[in-house]
Each structure stands twice: as C-alpha cells, then as structure tokens.
C-alpha cells in the first residue's frame, strides 16, 4: 500500500511534459525522470492548455457581456461582469493613485484568471486525470496554479512591469538612485543599499509567485491525500476542506491582484 500510495501521489504531481529529450529528441515525457532530463527546454502542456482554456473562458464571458452592454437594466451575465469590474475598479482606485489605462484591466485579468485556475482545484482530483488517462494521456495536472511555472510566469511578468514603470516614471537615474541611495544616503553605503534594495526588489516577484503556488500546491496535495482514504469516508474530510478551499482560492486570487496593484503603485510613486 505504501509504495502504491507514493506512486499515486507522484503520478498526480507530474505534469504532462513535452520537450527535447537529450537522447530521444522531441517527445512527451513518459515518466518523471524523462521530464527531468528535458531540463529547461520543455513545456507543461497541461498547465499551458488549462490556463489558456480558462483565460479564454474568462475573456469569452466578459467579452460577450461587454459586447451586449446596455445602459438600461442589466441582465444576469452583465450584472455579474459589472459587479466584478466595479469591485476591481474600486480596489485599484483605493490603492493606486496615478493614471493608468493598463492597471485596472490588468487587475481584472489577474483576479478572474487566477480565480478560475484555482477553481480547478475543487474538481475532484481523479476525475479529469482518469478521463484523460482513458484517452491515452497518462499525466494530467489540471490546476495550473499548482505548477510553479505558471505562477512564476505571471509574477515575473508583473516584475517586468514594475521595472518598466519605475524607469518610465522616475527615469533610469531616478530608479538607480532609489536602489543605491536608500535607506542610507551616503556614497560609502551604496553597495549595502544596493544589496538591501535589490533583495527587496527581487523578493517581490518571488514571494508573489511562490505564495500562490505554495497555497494551491498544498491544497491540492491534501486533496490527493484525502483521495487515498477509503471512498466511503473521503467526504468527511474532502467536503470541509473543499468548503475551506473556496475561501483560499478567492483569497489567493485577491491577494495576487492586490499585491500587483500595490507593487505597481509603488513603482509609480516618486520618492
């Protein structure tokens, strides 16, 4: 049972990887070792696939509502979209005081996309892998945010935006000054300041991405562990955990969005 269980867990945590194997060339990895051997030049087809499908779903729904937007009494979908947009717009306006065409839609995209990706966590852990297994696909991880590549991909994008806006607003010299002359405004302290500020700057994307990844990965792992129990007792643990997880996935999506707004608003502020 023990070997079986660890195999089951490892199987569930393995992404469907497509990449360049040093020996066998371009192919889907058939086990964890092959995936590892592919190194950086590989792609998690399941992560990309699910995240694109979910992002597409989000944009499809919102675009549909936006196209048939009416000034009169809003219908169901429009109502929902308006509530979301208003909620995001309010959050942005409370935190971010500059003028930017980008930041509000960016926040909406982050919130809805991350929420939808997290929501996949509530689909029972064996359903989709079993379905794809029946179709001959042996690895399928359906929650993109439990893949560190997905979360770090987003947080690094945010990081690039932080740097872009820092330079755009403060100029290269302003940004450099911010990194070198704080917190101690003394030429001798430049290396120390640079180290301090550099760590602070780099910690932003790392913490942003790993927070989301860690929460969802842990949640998913617990669902997998619960799935190891006899089927007649699983509900006693999985139902409370799922209900609790509804809070987690919403909260993590919200935190990711809020921190992005905060970081970008810090990038916009001139000291």
Partner 1 sequence: MNLNLTLIGQAIAFAIFVWFCMKYVWPPVMQAMQARQKKIADSLDAASRASRDLELAQEKASQLLRENKEEAAQIIEQANKRANQIIEEAKETAREEGERLIVSAKGEIDQQVNRAKEELRGQVAELAVAGAEQILKKSVDAKAHSELVDSLAKQL
The footprint of partner 1 (CB under 8 A) covers 15, 17, 19, 35-36, 38-44, 47-48, 51-52, 55, 58-59, 62-63, 65-67, 69-72, 81-82, 85-86, 89, 101-102, 104-106, 108-109, 113, 144, 147-150, 152-154, 156-157
Give the separation between CA 59 and CA 10, rounded to whole angstroms. 33
Q: Given the residues 149, 215, 238, 265, select the one marked as catalytic.
A: 215
**Residue 113 or residue 223: which is nearer to partner 1 going by CB?**
113
Least distance in angstroms from the C-beta of 32 to partner 1: 10
Pairing of strands 25-28, 42-44: unpaired
Which CB contacts under 8 angstroms, 24+ apart, belong to 212-216?
212/114, 212/145, 212/151, 212/155, 212/252, 212/255, 212/256, 213/145, 213/146, 213/147, 213/148, 213/150, 213/151, 213/152, 215/248, 215/252, 216/118, 216/121, 216/143, 216/145, 216/146, 216/151, 216/249, 216/252
Least distance in angstroms from the C-beta of 247 to partner 1: 25
Least distance in angstroms from the C-beta of 55 to partner 1: 5
* Burial environment of residue 108 by CB neighbours within 10 A (0 to 12, 13 to 18, 19 or more): buried
Q: Given the residues 31, 100, 157, 211, select the one marked as catalytic.
A: 211
**Residue 193 or residue 215: which is nearer to partner 1 going by CB?**
215
**Residue 35 or residue 125: which is nearer to partner 1 going by CB?**
35
Tell me whether residue 211 is one of the annotated catalytic residues.
Answer: yes
Least distance in angstroms from the C-beta of 192 to partner 1: 30
Least distance in angstroms from the C-beta of 265 to partner 1: 17
Give the separation between CA 155 and CA 133, rounded to whole angstroms. 32
Q: Is 236 helix (H, G, I), strand (E, B) or coil?
A: helix
Give the separation between CA 195 and CA 173, rounded to whole angstroms. 18
**Residue 137 or residue 237: which is nearer to partner 1 going by CB?**
137
Asked whether the bond before 72 is cis by omega within 30 degrees of 0, the reply is no
**Residue 71 or residue 186: which is nearer to partner 1 going by CB?**
71
Which active-site residues does the annotation give? 207, 211, 215
């Amino acid at each position: 049972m023990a070997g079986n269980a660890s195999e089951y867990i490892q199987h569930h945590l393995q992404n469907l990887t497509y990449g360049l194997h040093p020996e066998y060339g371009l192919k889907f990895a058939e086990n964890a070792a092959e995936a590892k051997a592919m190194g950086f030049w590989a792609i998690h087809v399941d992560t990309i696939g699910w995240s694109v499908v979910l992002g597409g779903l989000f944009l499809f729904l919102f675009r549909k509502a936006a196209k048939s937007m009416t000034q009169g009494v809003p219908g169901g979908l429009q109502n929902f979209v308006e509530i979301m947009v208003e909620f995001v717009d309010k959050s942005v306006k409370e935190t971010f005081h500059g003028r930017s065409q980008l930041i509000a839609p960016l926040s909406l995209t982050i919130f809805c996309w991350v929420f939808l990706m997290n929501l996949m966590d509530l689909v029972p852990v064996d359903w989709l892998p079993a379905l794809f297994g029946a179709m001959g696909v042996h690895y399928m991880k359906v929650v993109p945010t439990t893949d560190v590549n997905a979360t770090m991909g987003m947080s690094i994008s945010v990081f690039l935006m932080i740097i872009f806006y820092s330079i755009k607003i403060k100029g290269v010299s302003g940004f450099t000054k911010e990194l070198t002359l704080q917190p101690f405004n003394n030429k001798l302290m430049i290396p120390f300041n640079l180290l301090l500020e550099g760590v602070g700057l780099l910690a932003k994307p790392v913490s942003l991405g790993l927070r989301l990844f860690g929460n969802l990965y842990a949640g998913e792992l617990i669902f997998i562990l619960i799935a190891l129990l006899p089927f007649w007792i699983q509900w006693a643990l999985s139902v409370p955990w799922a209900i609790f997880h509804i809070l987690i996935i919403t909260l993590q999506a919200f935190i990711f969005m809020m921190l992005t707004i905060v970081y970008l608003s810090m990038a916009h502020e001139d000291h």
